[in-house]
């Protein structure tokens, strides 16, 4: 007898663009997606293109990671949020998302749901 297919949940990703309370909306979006990841949560915001990012990441549930003050400090009209369910990699703050990097063209922030198995090769390229 074949086992029926059941969808599996992995990380949750939520984004807002063009809203003055982007961090707060992202918080509620992540709260609704909490079933997709309970290990860590993070939000990154920006006011406009080229403005510096503000980021808060932490271990635990969405309600444990973000305080009211955190949400006030995450100013901006753009936000990316992430809740993590690890399938590979340790459950540590180092692996919490969103990820931010400096490039020659400026800052980049991303959050993803999956495993990047060729990171070393991509970095070398």
Catalytic residues: 11
For 10, 31, 87, 89, 97, the CA distances from 115, given in Å and listed in that order, are: 11, 23, 8, 9, 13
Spatial strand order of the sheet with 54-59 comes to 12-17, 78-84, 40-46, 54-59
Name beta bridge partners: 24.
none
């Amino acid at each position: 007898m074949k086992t029926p297919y059941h969808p599996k949940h992995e990380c949750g990703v939520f984004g807002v663009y063009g809203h003055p309370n982007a961090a707060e909306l992202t918080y509620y979006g992540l709260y609704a997606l909490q079933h997709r990841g309970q290990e860590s949560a993070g939000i990154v915001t920006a006011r406009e293109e080229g403005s510096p990012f503000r980021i808060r990441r932490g271990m635990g549930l969405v309600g444990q990671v973000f305080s009211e003050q955190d949400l006030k400090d995450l100013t901006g009209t753009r936000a990316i949020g992430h809740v993590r369910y690890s399938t590979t990699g340790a459950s540590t703050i180092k692996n919490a998302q969103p990820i931010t990097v400096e490039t020659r063209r400026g800052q980049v922030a991303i959050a993803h749901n999956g495993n990047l198995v060729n990171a070393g090769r991509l970095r070398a390229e």
